[in-house]
Amino acid sequence: MAAPSSSSDPCARSYPGAQAPARRRTVDSGGLAIAVYEWGDASAPPLLLAHGGFDFARTYDVFAPLLAAGGWRVVSWDQRGHGDSEHAALYSWEGDVRDALAVLDSTTREAVPFIGHSKGGSVLTQLADACPHRVTRLVNIDGLPSRTRHPDVAEHERSRLLAKELAGWLDHRRRVKDARRKPGTLEELARRRGRMNPRLPYEWLRYLAGAGAQRDADGWRWKLDPSMRFGGFGPWRPEWTLLRLPGLAVPLLGFLASVSEPMGWDTTEEILRPHLPPDAEIVRPPETGHFLHIERPHEIADRVLRFLA
């Protein structure tokens, strides 16, 4: 069933345990083309698997086949602007949640397990809250909310900090029509990604580059929409996300990183505990960063499969 990376493609690499998706299709979400991928038997019960921000579905090339081997039809997708999905004019949390529902609707009208990493975990937590009739169990891999505290600065200083952030963002928006990703060799792309993923092996990042980059005349570029960038601002508060947890109507399994790193959320069990549903299970493997399912794919997949059984 699995379609391993083609050995005839000189750019693709193999990686131990990695399998390309078995099937690929496109879903329309309000006019946007969303790339959907599936691993496992097409007649097996489906589950929904969401990637994190600045990632893409094929970052699950090791983790998803393990879930598929456990008897599941694993359905994932590239979020708008990521991977092979269409680059949108606008990006928002609500847009991402709507795209997730479009993928789910294209798969089944029944309730299924949701699994998401990082931002994908948070998007699916919101979808679970908005559509409790569509979810059976929720697995959140280091995407449970934290409560970031701003340094206690004087009001006047705070305004200047905000001013700098706002002006910086508006300046970015003024330039964004000309934004392009920096080209390079696949090796350079892998090394650059390593700066944000310092705990992941180079060979893995090089494998990802083969799946997540496109070749232009002047070199390879990550497919990610260059208009997207880290940070930003808005009225949303992390505690509002925390307040969505106690009412979750389905069993929750949450994984937390134990090592802080650039893409991590630094969520602690102490912050979460008062907001968790009574039967929630929280797992925090030792010496593990934000990408738990890449650092410990078998251990995390086994734990998830037991939870879904």
Partner 1 sequence: MKTVTLRHGKIDLTLHALRDATTGHPLLLLHGRGQRAAATVPDAVATWPGPIWALDFTGHGASTVPKGGGYSVEILMADADHALAHLGAATLLGRGLGAYVALLLAGARPKEVRGAILCDGPGLSGGGPRPVTPTVALPPDTVLGRAPDPFALLELARDVRPPDYATSFVRQATQLSELERPISVCSAERPDWLLAVIEEPGVAVTSLAEALAHYADVARDGQATRQREPRV
Nearer to partner 1, 164 or 306 (CB): 164
Nearer to partner 1, 25 or 284 (CB): 25
Q: What is the dihedral angle through the alpha carbons of 262, 83, 138, 39, rounded to the nearest 10 degrees?
A: -130
Q: What is the closest distance, in whole angstroms, from the C-beta atom of residue 173 to partner 1 in the complex?
A: 4
Nearer to partner 1, 23 or 87 (CB): 87
Nearer to partner 1, 12 or 101 (CB): 101
Identity of the amino acid at 86: E
Q: Does 101 bind partner 1 (CB under 8 A)?
A: yes
User: At a CB cut-off of 8 Å and minimum separation 6, what does 201 contact?
Assistant: none
281/252 Cα distance (integer angstroms): 6
CA-to-CA separations, 161 to 153, 166, 236, in angstroms, rounded: 10, 9, 18
**Could you tell me which stretch among 24-32, 66-74, 139-147, 212-220 binds partner 1 (CB under 8 A)?**
24-32
Q: Does 149 bind partner 1 (CB under 8 A)?
A: no
Strand ranges (DSSP E) for the chain?
Answer: 23-29, 32-39, 46-50, 73-77, 112-117, 135-141, 213-216, 219-222, 252-255, 281-283
**Could you tell me which stretch among 65-73, 86-94, 282-290, 295-303 binds partner 1 (CB under 8 A)?**
86-94
Q: Taking the chain, what is the end-to-end CA distance rounded to the nearest angstrom?
A: 23
Residues 221-280 that bind partner 1 (CB under 8 A): 227, 232-237, 240, 244
Q: What is the closest distance, in whole angstroms, from the C-beta atom of residue 211 to partner 1 in the complex?
A: 24
Q: Does 111 bind partner 1 (CB under 8 A)?
A: no
Q: What is the closest distance, in whole angstroms, from the C-beta atom of residue 96 to partner 1 in the complex?
A: 8
Nearer to partner 1, 198 or 232 (CB): 232
Secondary structure (3-state) at 147: coil
Q: Which of 87, 39, 86, 81 is nearest to 60 (CA)?
A: 39
Q: What is the DSSP letter of 297?
A: H
Residues near partner 1, by CB under 8 A: 29-32, 80, 86-92, 94-95, 97-99, 101, 126-127, 129-131, 155-156, 158-160, 162-163, 166-167, 169-170, 173-174, 176-177, 227, 232-237, 240, 244
